[in-house]
Structure 1
Amino acid sequence: MSVRCAMLCGAALALPATAQAQAQGAPTPALTSGVLTYLPADFARFAPQNALDMVRQVPGFVIETAEERRGLGQATQNVLIDGKRISGKSNDAEAALGRINARDVLRIEILDGATLDVPGLSGQVANILTAVKGLTGNFRYNPQIRARRTEARLLDGEISLSGKSGAFDYTLSLSDEQQRGGNAGPERVTDGAGRLIDLRHEVLIANEDSPRLSGALKYQGAGGGIGNLNASIAQSHSLVAENSRQGFPGTVDRRRDYRETEKEWNYEIGGDYEFGLGGGRLKLIGLRRFEHSPSLTRVFFEYGDGRPDTCDLFARTADESEAIARTEYRWKGGVADWQVSLEGAFNTLDNRSTLAVLDTAGVYQPVPLEGGNAKVKEKRVEIALSYGRPLSGALTLQSAIGAEYSNITQNGAGGLNRNFLRPKGFVSLAWKASPRFDISAKIEREVGQLDFYDFVASVNLAGGNGNAGNPDLRPPQSWNVELTANRNLGAWGSIKLKTFAKFIADAVAQVPIGATGEAPGNISKARLVGLDLTGTINLDPAGWRGARVDINTIFRKSRLHDPLTDEIRELSEQDKSTIDVNFRHDIPGSDLAWGVDYSRYIQTAGFRLDQTSQYVEKPGDLGAYLEHKDVFGLKLRGGLSNLLGMNERFYRSVYEGRRTDPIAFTEDRSRYFGPVFDVRISGSF
């Protein structure tokens, strides 16, 4: 399937872009001044029920996952609604689009982000223009059944209501993101010479329920004032349980019971208000987030020879908070767009951890855990000036320059108080080489986000290791370079090719702490380069009416000097490649559609100072589905995945001390979870 799609993609790049009309309702955008405009009628053959259904069918366009970012600064998602960034921080593009009824969509514009007065955007951006006409609603229900060892997922879904009252638009949503997972299989353990020393059979269950209630209110005043208010409250209860039967001639038979639970709740409330002031527009933004996360991990061993049971317990309660205040003022100076922004933020982590072991009398005895209790606080101020203008009829510039000051304080073992002043900014250019071909380039100086959990000590009972905690962490910085080319193929579809590189200073990797400990710490530099190919090939012009192929592939290559051995290796446990190929056929003259999709994900090896590991999925996930677009007004889709019998493989080599010492043992795990059947029922009203 993937070879066939690659051949079609290569052929399409060689085809001329024609104005030939696509047969049987394939999306046919209007092209005006470099903007591709899709109307609701262009998506009729897909029977969309919300804006997300439409955007997913835009040829060659993929909604980018929101990046974890510091504060509320530059835009990172490639979706706008009514020309504005999606309000809020945890409100991602897919969730927001899924709550917009298809009847409220006026049109979808695809254009280059550098041509807009929204700092941070570059490359293809989708702008969804809407007009709320009355009370509407959307719902989806996604049950799933796995063939083996996993209870059915029965409560995954969402229902939302949207409406308008005077100058106010409102949305209310209730959802549950439910996961039910599980697998089982053997694990072989060999010593440093490759001799088999243990056999294990393991069964894993992984469940999660995340109900969320969220609401949004938008105000459009007669005087030009625009306001947004967003709020959400959610829970997330998760369980990971692994049962293992272990034994081998010459060893004691054992039963290992691993259990990890977390019961989190969180809320977010934020808003913004924009109004005209002195020839420009002033925008005031505020946000408050809080998360309470108690968790407990237990590893219990029962022995076949009658010796006392053993058990380790690691408990942690963490409270995280974030408060942000931001102001932006933008104005027009001739043909140029200007914006000055000022942002202040206060982030905290209050972490309390305990470790205990079961003694021979059956009593849990506490174990000292230095650095397990700590408070981390960051105060940050950022100022930036943005400037954008057309340099010619086909060339547009967007730029920003600024600086960030932060104060990071840790209270607890080895606590520190440090200050950082870091420059940041970017320059991007968008060139419309022809009506159907454009190129954009961007150079950016970025300040990275630290994980506050890296500052405190933790224990990983599942892997038999832990982190000592490192209060001396510094935020990483990087120079980022992107070059993107978009080729509209007319009736045939669209192709996008993006190359990117990131040159990181103060990169984060596992480093030695003391004689035997380790924790995330800074190394001098690292490098990441990659290639992203996205495209849609419509097969209508070739005579296969209603058929299309969508391709999304990303390849990454990283490089750093290992902090222990100084050898060249890749970043630990990072995305290395992702391949998604989807074929869809909307059968002309009917309400039926069917499709086949294939995906494969590859991750780099994991590196700790005393071990290496590798997670592998082979041979990838192949699935097929059948969709009916009108079952008593509902859209019904049934699919079967994992048709190739993909296994989850995991390899781990543990050394006698550091990775410079001989290997003590190696684990080779293979787990199978069988076919997966899922149903999606969706509708609107």
Structure 2
Amino acid sequence: MVLAVTMRVEVTRGQARRWAASALVLAALAGPAMAQPPQPAPVSDGQTVYPAAFFAPYNPVNASDMVARVPGFELKDGDERRGFASAGNLLINGERPSSKTAASELLKRIPASNVTRIELLSGANAGLDVRGQSQLVNVVVAQTAAKGDGTTWSLGLRHLQYSNRVGWLVQASRAVQLSPQAELGLDVQFPNLLGRGDSRDRLVTASGVQTGARRLLGKPQYIGAQGSATLRWRPTSMDTVNANIQFAPTWNHLDTIQSEVTGTGAPRSLLIGRSDFEANYTGELGADWERQLGGGLSAKLVTLVSNGSVDQNDVFNIQNFPATFVTRTQDRTTRNGERIARGRLKWTVNPAHTLEFGGEGAFNYRDTTFNITNQIGGGPVVKVPLAVSDARVEETRGEVFATDIWTVSPALTLEYGLSVEASRITQTGDQQKERSFRFVKPRATATWTMGPAGTLRASLIRDVAQLDFAEFSSTVDFVNAAATQGNPELVPEKAWKARLEWETRLAPRTALTIAAFADRVDDVRDLVEIAGADAFGNIGRGSRLGLEARAATPLAFIGLPNAELRFNGVWQRTQVTDPITGEKRSFSVPLERQGATSGSPTLNLGNKDWAYVLTFRQSMPSWQLSWGASVIDWADRNEYRRIEVISYERPLPKLDLFIETTAIRPVTARLFVNNLLAPPETRTREFYLGSRAGGITERLEIRKALGGPEGLRTMGFQVSGRF
């Protein structure tokens, strides 16, 4: 397979300055240290094996700390897909977790002392459930009785800029040996987040004349709890059973104050609101059973049941000067769930071929009700009409699949397969609709081991995205005066995805991966116009071309022993025809669906043009001290609506710093500052006269946001340990 990609990389001066600043910051912070580097990891059978001793210099508390230090590897939680059709790149004792909980979260529940080794595997490994992944990690966990130290704990305090309050995090995990063949893992967490945001808008005409100003203060309080249990059991030498259960309730609320004045400073309006989120929880119960049948045959059954619930009540008291007073209420309830059963039969026909056959059935639902009322000046309560405010969406789906892993030679492996999916989606409530879908999804991956230090992979897959059932019903953001109508005509986004990837491991701690990818996307998910309103929808065919690079290297060669530098970055160009203007543009990147890099330094690209994470870490064993810095940056983004374009810009990257000590073993004490530079984000809403098709700007709202999800500086102290 040959992947031909032609691209033109465009870098603005601003981007160049930001990237250069990132490198200079880390270079300036680095300093010398003295000690011998840890022992290298052995390599066998084209797979890199990292024993537990490899991670000892990092003093890991749990398996998540260890996987984060595997050179040239990035943990992926898996794409949003129905059922288990798409999985992340994590195995635990050679098995995929029977859970849709994020892989990074699952790893935090495994004490580091119970991990014997971590294997970095090629996606062409015939003995494992590779499911289309080019690279995986297998965390090999020993029985607690053999290792001891089965409990880990973590206590943390966090202060968010502007909040004047301190939040906390408490977590404890315990591995309990029930018998020589059974182990139970228990985990409890109590996160608390207390924040505050401050945003200020300038309201101007197209010619730049200021017509008013607005200030928005938000004060969220998010309190949660989470309990989970995981069972690993070998009832016989031929059977393996895994089960997990998780329940996570939350108690959240948000206080909002927004004031607006005219261009002369006279009061125009005042809003005081509160949002309470009650009856909020998520729960999950999953299990899998695998049996070795003999003769190269094995069978596996996976089941999962999950439920979620959210009740949201908004009350806004609005004074429109000089005399009008309005009370607005918004009540929204959401119930959702998923039921999955998946069966698989694996047959190792001979050393060259391993076949997999199976099927999956699933039932998903989401039930939403949304009621809005207005009460003017103490008068009667009037219900506000809203299209598609009540909706129940159900999906029944079935899939069959077959895969062959063909070891053509010791250097070349082919994985190819086909799955066929059929589903029926029914919507009731304000809109009545029933539709059926059928998708044929072929895939092929070729892996060529070029030598002990090099691997080349090429893949071509047909991908079908998951429909977001929330987009079948309408949403209203009253504070920001934005509404999006639900659309029962939504169809899944589909794509042919081609990827060519080269990986080299020049040394045990030095790795480089470079990839090029090209996607042809059908039914691009975006916003459309329905009856003069913005609505969720599909806007036709688009394309995505890009480059990805991951690298890790020690820095002893420049005089920095026990120091390492990691880079993970993606650049891409997306293109689709705008349904309003008829012109070519990038894919829309709505803030509410895209999110942003925050907290731990992980890459979150989505449809943004580029994003990267650059991390430096240095250990000073003689002082029992480590420190480091991360620079995270991502492209500005645009959201295209019917009569406006919303643009988000940030002047500086996100800079995180930490210092930790292991002087009191086995305790690790860590002091950190995330988003040290705390650059304000600028949001510009450009409103057009009539619609964007006319190209005539009517007015602008230019917001400088201090705080919020991307602008807060977070300072914290955390102690973690094990016993």
What's the TM-score once normalised by structure 2's chain length? 0.88
Q: Which of 123, 126, 135 is matched with 1:124 structurally? A: 135
Number of the residue aligned with 2:79: 67
TM-aligned CA deviation for residue 5 of structure 1: 7.7
Structure 2 residue 509 is the aligned partner of structure 1 residue 495: no
- The 1:675/1:276 distance shift into structure 2, 3 A limit, reads closer
Deviations 1:610-661 (A, max 9, x none): 2110122331222322110133531001012333241122111223432224
Q: Distance in 2 between matches of 1:23 and 1:437?
A: 30
Report if the CA contact (8 A) 1:640-1:677 is conserved: yes
Report if the CA contact (8 A) 1:498-1:531 is conserved: yes
Report if the CA contact (8 A) 1:132-1:163 is conserved: no
TM-aligned CA deviation for residue 508 of structure 1: 1.5
Structure 2 residue 584 is the aligned partner of structure 1 residue 568: yes
Pick which of 527-536 and 444-453 moved more: 527-536
Q: Distance in 1 between matches of 2:394 and 2:496?
A: 26
Q: Which amino acid in the other structure matches residue 582 of structure 2? A: D
Structure 2 residue 209 is the aligned partner of structure 1 residue 184: no
Report if the CA contact (8 A) 1:5-1:551 is conserved: no
TM-aligned CA deviation for residue 607 of structure 1: 1.1
Number of the residue aligned with 2:385: 368
Q: Which amino acid in the other structure matches residue 83 of structure 2? A: G
- The 1:46/1:237 distance shift into structure 2, 3 A limit, reads same
Q: What does residue range 5-44 of structure 1 map to in structure 2 within 5 Å?
A: 24-26=36-38, 28-44=40-56
Q: Distance in 2 between matches of 1:642 and 1:317?
A: 35
TM-aligned CA deviation for residue 243 of structure 1: 1.8
- The 1:448/1:122 distance shift into structure 2, 3 A limit, reads same
Q: What does residue range 447-526 of structure 1 map to in structure 2 within 5 Å?
A: 447-490=464-507, 493-514=510-531, 516-526=532-542
Structure 2 residue 60 is the aligned partner of structure 1 residue 48: yes
- The 1:464/1:683 distance shift into structure 2, 3 A limit, reads same
Q: Distance in 2 between matches of 1:524 and 1:684?
A: 53
Q: Distance in 1 between matches of 2:231 and 2:653?
A: 42
Q: Distance in 1 between matches of 2:204 and 2:138?
A: 56
Number of the residue aligned with 1:104: 114
Deviations 1:375-415 (A, max 9, x none): 11111000000110211111111111011000111112331
Report if the CA contact (8 A) 1:25-1:43 is conserved: no
- The 1:657/1:555 distance shift into structure 2, 3 A limit, reads same
Report if the CA contact (8 A) 1:492-1:541 is conserved: no
Q: Distance in 2 between matches of 1:300 and 1:497?
A: 54
Report if the CA contact (8 A) 2:399-2:419 is conserved: yes
Q: Which of 171, 181, 186 is matched with 1:172 structurally? A: 186
Deviations 1:415-444 (A, max 9, x none): 111111110131001111110111111111
- The 1:601/1:150 distance shift into structure 2, 3 A limit, reads farther
Q: What does residue range 214-253 of structure 1 map to in structure 2 within 5 Å?
A: 214-249=228-263, 252-253=267-268
- The 1:252/1:677 distance shift into structure 2, 3 A limit, reads closer
TM-aligned CA deviation for residue 206 of structure 1: 3.1
Q: Distance in 1 between matches of 2:690 and 2:267?
A: 25
TM-aligned CA deviation for residue 26 of structure 1: 3.6
Number of the residue aligned with 1:158: 171
Counterpart secondary structure, 1:45: helix
TM-aligned CA deviation for residue 500 of structure 1: 2.1
Number of the residue aligned with 2:717: 679
Number of the residue aligned with 2:653: 620
Q: Which amino acid in the other structure matches residue 88 of structure 2? A: Q
Identity of aligned residues (%): 25
Q: Distance in 1 between matches of 2:340 and 2:544?
A: 31
Deviations 1:281-306 (A, max 9, x none): 1111111111111112344322453x
- The 1:82/1:121 distance shift into structure 2, 3 A limit, reads farther
- The 1:656/1:609 distance shift into structure 2, 3 A limit, reads same
Q: Which of 649, 668, 687 is matched with 1:654 structurally? A: 687
Q: Which amino acid in the other structure matches residue 717 of structure 2? A: V
Number of the residue aligned with 2:94: 83
Q: Distance in 2 between matches of 1:491 and 1:2?
A: 28
Number of the residue aligned with 1:274: 290
- The 1:314/1:256 distance shift into structure 2, 3 A limit, reads same
Pick which of 456-465 and 156-165 moved more: 456-465
Q: Which amino acid in the other structure matches residue 159 of structure 2? A: I
TM-aligned CA deviation for residue 150 of structure 1: 4.5
Report if the CA contact (8 A) 2:42-2:508 is conserved: no
Q: What does residue range 577-588 of structure 1 map to in structure 2 within 5 Å?
A: 577-588=610-621
Q: Which amino acid in the other structure matches residue 170 of structure 2? A: G
Q: Distance in 1 between matches of 2:714 and 2:248?
A: 28
Structure 2 residue 336 is the aligned partner of structure 1 residue 320: yes
Q: Distance in 2 between matches of 1:535 and 1:371?
A: 48
Number of the residue aligned with 1:289: 306
Q: Distance in 1 between matches of 2:342 and 2:515?
A: 32
Counterpart secondary structure, 1:618: coil
TM-aligned CA deviation for residue 123 of structure 1: 2.4
Report if the CA contact (8 A) 2:98-2:303 is conserved: no
Pick which of 410-419 and 212-221 moved more: 410-419
- The 1:143/1:550 distance shift into structure 2, 3 A limit, reads same
Q: What does residue range 184-223 of structure 1 map to in structure 2 within 5 Å?
A: 184-223=198-237
Counterpart secondary structure, 1:64: coil
- The 1:220/1:492 distance shift into structure 2, 3 A limit, reads closer
Report if the CA contact (8 A) 2:111-2:173 is conserved: no
TM-aligned CA deviation for residue 2 of structure 1: 5.3
- The 1:480/1:260 distance shift into structure 2, 3 A limit, reads farther
Q: Which of 315, 340, 346 is matched with 1:330 structurally? A: 346
TM-aligned CA deviation for residue 87 of structure 1: 2.2
Q: Which of 106, 125, 137 is matched with 2:151 structurally? A: 137
Pick which of 165-174 and 490-499 moved more: 490-499
Report if the CA contact (8 A) 1:109-1:128 is conserved: yes
Q: Which amino acid in the other structure matches residue 253 of structure 2? A: L
Q: Distance in 2 between matches of 1:62 and 1:370?
A: 43
TM-aligned CA deviation for residue 235 of structure 1: 1.3
Counterpart secondary structure, 1:605: strand
Report if the CA contact (8 A) 1:24-1:588 is conserved: no
For the aligned residue pairs, the C-alpha RMSD in angstroms reads 2.3
Counterpart secondary structure, 1:575: coil
Q: Which amino acid in the other structure matches residue 162 of structure 1? A: A
TM-aligned CA deviation for residue 595 of structure 1: 1.5
TM-aligned CA deviation for residue 194 of structure 1: 2.1
Q: Distance in 2 between matches of 1:185 and 1:163?
A: 49
TM-aligned CA deviation for residue 80 of structure 1: 1.1
Number of the residue aligned with 1:15: none
Report if the CA contact (8 A) 2:291-2:298 is conserved: yes
Q: Which amino acid in the other structure matches residue 681 of structure 1? A: V
Q: Which amino acid in the other structure matches residue 535 of structure 1? A: A
TM-aligned CA deviation for residue 337 of structure 1: 0.8
Gap regions ≥5 residues in structure 2: 1-17, 27-33, 590-606
Q: Which amino acid in the other structure matches residue 325 of structure 2? A: D
Number of the residue aligned with 1:589: 622
Report if the CA contact (8 A) 2:201-2:703 is conserved: yes
Q: Distance in 1 between matches of 2:208 and 2:167?
A: 41
TM-aligned CA deviation for residue 372 of structure 1: 1.0
Q: What does residue range 418-433 of structure 1 map to in structure 2 within 5 Å?
A: 418-433=435-450
Q: Distance in 2 between matches of 1:491 and 1:319?
A: 48
Q: Distance in 1 between matches of 2:142 and 2:59?
A: 19
Number of the residue aligned with 2:546: 530
- The 1:278/1:106 distance shift into structure 2, 3 A limit, reads closer
